[in-house]
Amino acid sequence: MTQRTLEAIIAPRAPHYVGDGFRVHNFIPSTQPLSMRRMSPFILLDYNAPFYFPPSDQLRGVGVHPHRGFETVTIAYKGRVAHRDSSGGGGIIGEGDVQWMTAASGILHKEYHEENFSKTGGLFQMVQLWVNLPARYKMSAPKYQAIAQHQINGYQLPNNGGTVAVIAGQYADVQGAATTFTPMHLYNAHLKAGTVLPLSFPSHYNTALLVVAGNIRINGSENVPTNHFALLRNDGEDFSVTANDDALVLVLSGEPIDEPIAAQGPFVMNTPEELAQARRDFAMGKFGQLDD
Ligand code: MN
């Protein structure tokens, strides 16, 4: 086993709004070197760092829009989001919950702050991650996995060092809650100050961390502050995360999908022709029906 080393620490870029409900820092694919290809199968990561939304009678969010060719994964840290899609999926996710939506051949959905959260206002913190699908699954049937916090198994670290909540893949003997189309690992690591979390993934898996709370160091030496992203090289398997103070770290590692990427807005396909087909199918109403 060889050590995996740090490639880059990436600061959050200026935030932008997705609709009027998500104030996000984009890491993948708009910050160097986090291109869709470099981070495959993870092709987009938007991070709504903790942000206070004041009370509102009007629901903030994003209205009906399509997706095709990939999966959207929403990970809630603070606040509540309500979602509904044209395949019948839907629900409310709050702190610790994950919504794993497979758009595949095409879906319409809408994403809003949950009604009571909107009325009272409050701190909001979320990640939205897009996971690519290989060509053979891009036109498969849509599906939806609503994963509540209590359904996500945790690995208890020794000496009350914290918990690794395994969203997908596995950590030690703990299996992830979500099913995936290609091999990947996705964890929320809740670490007490001083805890050292050992991690090991095949060297060709693209691997990164988002520091959601607290601050950490990688391989005992390199500091990564809150709201920063750390990219690991593909030069080894093993590395460690040390919590400098109580920390929450989103860990991503996945086998790259070695196929061409043709991406435009809400569609991620393999070729420009498939993108054109997606636009035509959407215009013709083939993504189903969903009222705003
Ligand atoms: Mn969406």
Find the 114 Cα to ligand 1 centroid distance in Å: 16
Does pLDDT of 58 surpass 80?
yes
Distance CA 103, CA 256 (A): 19
Task: Give whole-number Cα distances, 37 to 18, 57, 232, in Å.
Answer: 23, 41, 15
pLDDT of 288 reads 86
Core vs surface per residue 53-71: b (16+ CB within 10 A) or e = beeeeebbbbebbbbbbbb
Does pLDDT of 115 surpass 90?
yes
Distance CA 27, CA 258 (A): 21
Beta bridge partners of 224: 216
Tokens of 273: 């022709």
Find the 188 Cα to ligand 1 centroid distance in Å: 22
Does pLDDT of 289 surpass 90?
no
Q: What is the DSSP letter of 227?
A: T
Return the closest-CA partner of residue 26 out of 42, 6, 2. 42
Distance CA 79, CA 67 (A): 24
Find the 44 Cα to ligand 1 centroid distance in Å: 12
Identity of the amino acid at 11: A
pLDDT of 90 reads 86
Find the 61 Cα to ligand 1 centroid distance in Å: 10
Does pLDDT of 96 surpass 90?
yes
**Helical (H) or strand (E) element with 274:** helix 272-283
Write the pLDDT tens digit of every residue in 192-242: 999 999 999 999 999 999 999 999 999 999 999 999 999 999 999 999 999
pLDDT of 89 reads 85
pLDDT of 247 reads 98
Return the closest-CA partner of residue 199 out of 249, 147, 256. 249
Find the 71 Cα to ligand 1 centroid distance in Å: 10
Find the 38 Cα to ligand 1 centroid distance in Å: 22
Find the 228 Cα to ligand 1 centroid distance in Å: 23
Find the 290 Cα to ligand 1 centroid distance in Å: 13
Give the strand order in the sheet containing 154-157: 6-10, 229-232, 206-213, 247-254, 184-191, 162-168, 154-157
Find the 2 Cα to ligand 1 centroid distance in Å: 39
Q: Give 131-158 as a DSSP string.
A: EE--HHHHTS--EEEEE-GGGS-EEEET
Dihedral sign, CA of 45, 50, 52, 58? positive
Q: How confident is the model at residue 87 (pLDDT cuts 50, 70, 90)?
A: confident
Find the 109 Cα to ligand 1 centroid distance in Å: 6
Find the 82 Cα to ligand 1 centroid distance in Å: 12
Write the pLDDT tens digit of every residue in 237-278: 999 999 999 999 999 999 999 999 999 999 999 999 999 999
Given a contact cutoff of 8 angstroms between Cβ atoms, the answer to whether 231 and 16 are in contact is no
Mean pLDDT for the chain overall = 97
Return the closest-CA partner of residue 182 out of 40, 36, 4. 40
Alpha helix (H) ranges present in the chain?
Answer: 36-39, 115-120, 135-138, 272-283
Given a contact cutoff of 8 angstroms between Cβ atoms, the answer to whether 131 and 180 are in contact is yes
Identity of the amino acid at 98: V
Given a contact cutoff of 8 angstroms between Cβ atoms, the answer to whether 60 and 105 are in contact is no
Find the 123 Cα to ligand 1 centroid distance in Å: 21
Distance CA 22, CA 274 (A): 29
Write the pLDDT tens digit of every residue in 97-111: 999 999 999 999 999
Given a contact cutoff of 8 angstroms between Cβ atoms, the answer to whether 217 and 223 are in contact is yes
Find the 199 Cα to ligand 1 centroid distance in Å: 31
